[in-house]
Amino acid sequence: MIDDWTLLPTEQALLAGSQEANRLGLAVMLKAFQYEGRFPARTRDVPQAAVEFVSRQVGVEVTQFERYDWRGRSSSTHRALIREFCGYRAFAEADVPPLVDWMCEHALPREERQDLLKLKALALDHLRDSRIEPPTHAQLERHLASAERTFETKLCGLVFSRLDPARVQALDDLLRATVADEDEPEADRTSLIHSLRTDSRRPGLESVEQQIAKLGRLRAVGLPRGLFEGVPIGVQRRYRERTGVETPSELRAHPEAIRATQLAAFVQLRLGEITDSLVDHLIHTVHKIGARAERRVEKRILANIKKTSGKDRLFERLLEAALDNPEGTVREVLFPVMGEERLRDLLREFRARGSYRQEVHMHLRSSYKQHYRRMTLVIPQIEAVYVGDDLSPATGRAMGTEALWCCGSWRSA
């Protein structure tokens, strides 16, 4: 409060000759303008504590502030006086193009989501740095809307110019084609774009194959390399999110350049999203193979052996008996400590331990050969995605294969 609302001697001199209500109003407007970079429009725009603090400095009752005429001639004169004192000028029509250009170059490319309040704050900061009094809120919002339209027109025109007619047609085909619903195959067919923007809910071989099919559809569009060169990733995500929520009819209603840019951003980013999801499905499926094999082996072993409890204490007693009677026979020395049948149970348990991993591995191989070998079809797809990102084929293949190995449960067939 003290730093922002204290009147300096030069500012006190500016108030000389003003009547009480006008003097307090001028002082409050001056400090508010210095603090916010714009004039308050009415009494309630200024915190009461700030008004009281200023009123004590100018020696005027705080109630006089209610009498200040915000729309009269004195108020206009005060604004002009404050602008001149602070080195500002009023916003003019000639300032609109520079403001739009600045928003297109410095603000809109950095915003992943077009938040009007945040854009207004950026515009106000820019005008303040330029020593220009901002326009009214309504006028500023109109100028921001103009900047957004200009930015979108230029951006979409640039991206569209990099697409040949065949690619534009392939993007439009995403809105026309239909496919069977993944969750309800017997139901009516759904639009291809809807299918591409949904994620498979149930990890498993079927989901892996669905993801592979989606990758194929997206790669078939054939987006050129460098299509979004110079376009910030946040802006790409903005267009991808639009495509994710608009219906096919809403997408078709856009001008051609905007529609193509939105769909291209969706395809570009969805390729990476599905690839990441696909790797997650693969890891989950491989883990499931291992867990299922372990459960089958454990069930069979537990059915054939009787676990011996308190093994550590039994071993201790057996060792003590053997060491105390080194010349005696097993029947004479050990059987009294642990009966013959319990010793046989213990032997079967230890033999089962030795073959456990081998048997689990056998079931892994069997499941893979009979059902899951189709998963390896994904490796060329992952390779193609990574190669599309300027990696060598060998590197792409290695990264695709690593997706299958990274869970640690995979075994060679």
d(CA 53, CA 15) in angstroms, rounded, equals 16
**What mean pLDDT is predicted for residues 226-249?**
91
Query: Mean pLDDT throughout 201-230?
Result: 84
Least confident of 61-65, 245-249, 293-297: 293-297
Of 358, 194, 213, 182, nearest in space to 278 by CA: 213
Q: How much is the pLDDT for 390?
A: 46
pLDDT attached to residue 395: 47
The verdict on pTM exceeding 0.75 is no
**2-13: b (≥16 Cβ within 10 Å) or e:** eeebebeeebee
Residue 366 reports pLDDT greater than 60 = no
Q: How far is CA 354 from the centre of its chain?
A: 47
pLDDT tens for each residue of 141-182: 999 999 999 999 999 999 999 999 999 999 999 988 877 655
- Identify which of 241, 248, 271 has the alpha carbon closest to the alpha carbon of residue 175: 248
Domain boundary assignment for the chain: 2-87, 93-161, 165-273, 282-405
Residues 5-48 have pLDDT tens digits of: 999 989 888 888 788 778 998 999 999 999 988 899 888 889 99
Q: What is the tens place of the pLDDT at every residue in 289-305?
A: 666 666 665 566 555 54
